[in-house]
Amino acid sequence: MKLQSGLPAPTETWWAEHGEKSTAVPAPGSRANVLTFEIKGSTSALAGKHTAFDLLMDELESDPKNSQDLAEAGSWVARTFYPGDRTIRTARLEKGLSQKRLADLLGTSQPHVATMEKGCVDIMMSTAIKLCAILEIEMNELPEMLDRQKSITESKGKK
């Protein structure tokens, strides 16, 4: 198929370059074409072994060397990108914990930890006590940390 300009249709160009199947069908009542592509993707050996990110992280964290390296990387991120921004997120990163690992220690879910880190939820006293113990922060620091994160989250939403 050729376009009015005499150039090959995009589907033919794609097909020629990638060897993939494509079709162009005139859209009803329009001069435009609806393009349909069939693309065969390939996955890496690692991606094929891990269909869920949590499973991959569990495997990586189960090795003490990987776990230590991930903890050091998280701490580096907190020091490098969030200096002086003391929030639950930075305290977690400084401890080298993933959201999932913190959730496991708290007896809650990773999405709940993410919501707490955004400062968008009131934390139950029992959770606050556990959180302070795990992150080694004082209970009187927690409200300020939550307020700081909430204002950071709100400022991002206004941009």
Q: Are residues 52 and 1 in the same domain?
A: no
In a domain, 64, yes or no: yes
Give domain status of residue 158, yes or no. no
Domain-located, residue 101: yes
Rounded to whole angstroms, the Cα distance separating 159 from 154 reads 9
What's the token pair of residue 89? Answer: 């997120």
Helix, strand, coil: what percent of the chain each, to 5? 60, 10, 30
d(CA 55, CA 16): 39
Separation between Cα atoms, residue 120 and residue 146, nearest integer Å: 9
Scan for tokens 């991959």, then name that residue: 56
Residue 159 domain-assigned (yes or no): no
**CB-count exposure of residue 153 (10 Å: 0-12, 13-18, 19+):** middle
Say if residue 58 is in the same domain as residue 136. Answer: yes
| Average pLDDT over the chain, rounded to an integer | 77
Q: Is 37 found in the same domain as 6?
A: yes
Q: Note the pLDDT of residue 32.
A: 61
Whether residues 12 and 54 share a domain: the answer is no
Task: Please count the structural domains in the chain.
Answer: 2
Question: What per-residue confidence (pLDDT) applies to 29?
Answer: 63
CATH of the domain at 126: 1.10.260.40
Of residues 18 and 122, the one with the higher pLDDT is: 122
Dihedral angle, C-alpha 77, 143, 129, 102, nearest 10 °:
-30
Query: Of residues 39 and 99, which shows the higher confidence score?
Result: 99
39 compared with 82, residue with greater pLDDT? 82
Kindly report the backbone phi and psi dihedral angles of residue 24, in degrees, each rounded to the nearest multiple of 5, phi listed first: -125, 125
In a domain, 111, yes or no: yes
Residue 119 located in a structural domain: yes
> Domain check: are 55 and 15 in the same one?
no
Residue 108 lies in a domain: yes
More confident residue, 64 or 141: 141
Give the residue numbers spanning the domain of 14. 1-41
Per-residue pLDDT at 64: 84
CA 33/CA 126 separation, integer angstroms:
60
Same-domain pairing of 113 and 82 = yes
pLDDT > 60? residue 104: yes
